[in-house]
Amino acid sequence: KMLFYLTTLNMVRFLHEDAPTVDENETDKEKWASFEAWGHDDFLCRNYVLNRPDNSLYNLYSPMTTENLLSESLDKKYKTEGAGLKKFIVEKFLAYRMVDSKSVMSQVQEDLHAEGMEMNESFQVAAVIEKLPPLWKDFKNYLKHKRKEMGLEDLIVKLRIEEDNRKQSESRVTNDLWKKDQI
């Protein structure tokens, strides 16, 4: 929300820019005016940010001299990305179970790739194999006993082929049963 707010005020640059420096002996009035304008705008930006949270936080963060320092301090304290979030993602991944009622390919693509966290590829392959649904037990054992290391893309191809074969087998069984009913 704050980033959007500062964008509408055209003050996002103060989050990342350092204050310009002007030599005390500088006589160019334009450079001094630019320096003073930057200081004024940085002051406004810093106070826009400081006035958004609770009043108790104002006293804590008001000593920050520039918006850049304030932004860095707030990011360190409150940014949710990082190790803590990754731990929750890993926990969710380890607790994840594939189900028979949903396509294996859609589960791999939607649920496992959605988190976007980088993970060792051989660990990912082994984990996906281990997470296969109960009806895939034989195929799971087949994959576990393969000696050649398999990449994630190779595994996805094998899963897609196996899933297609299972669908064809189901349709053949259904057709055979239907034909027997007709006779």
Q: Write out pLDDT tens, residues 60-98.
A: 667 777 767 777 776 676 665 555 556 666 667 677 777
| Confidence band, pLDDT 50/70/90 cuts, at residue 124 | confident
- Asked if residue 174 and residue 87 are part of one domain, the reply reads yes
Residues 87 and 156 in one domain: yes
Quote the CA–CA distance of 12 and 63 in Å, as a whole number. 20
Domain ends where: 78, 103, 118?
78
Residue 145, pLDDT > 70, answer yes
Task: Give, in order, the Cα–Cα distances in Å from 22 to each of 42, 65, 80.
Answer: 16, 17, 37
> Does 50 share its domain with 100?
no
d(CA 120, CA 101): 28
Looking at residue 131, its pLDDT comes to 85
CA distances from 3 to 52, 64, 101 (A): 12, 18, 42
Is the pLDDT score of 152 beyond 80?
A: yes
pLDDT-based confidence at residue 161 (cuts at 50, 70, 90): very high
- Do both 165 and 102 map to the same domain? yes
Q: Is there a single domain that holds both residue 36 and residue 93?
A: no
* Structural domain boundaries, residue 50: 2-78
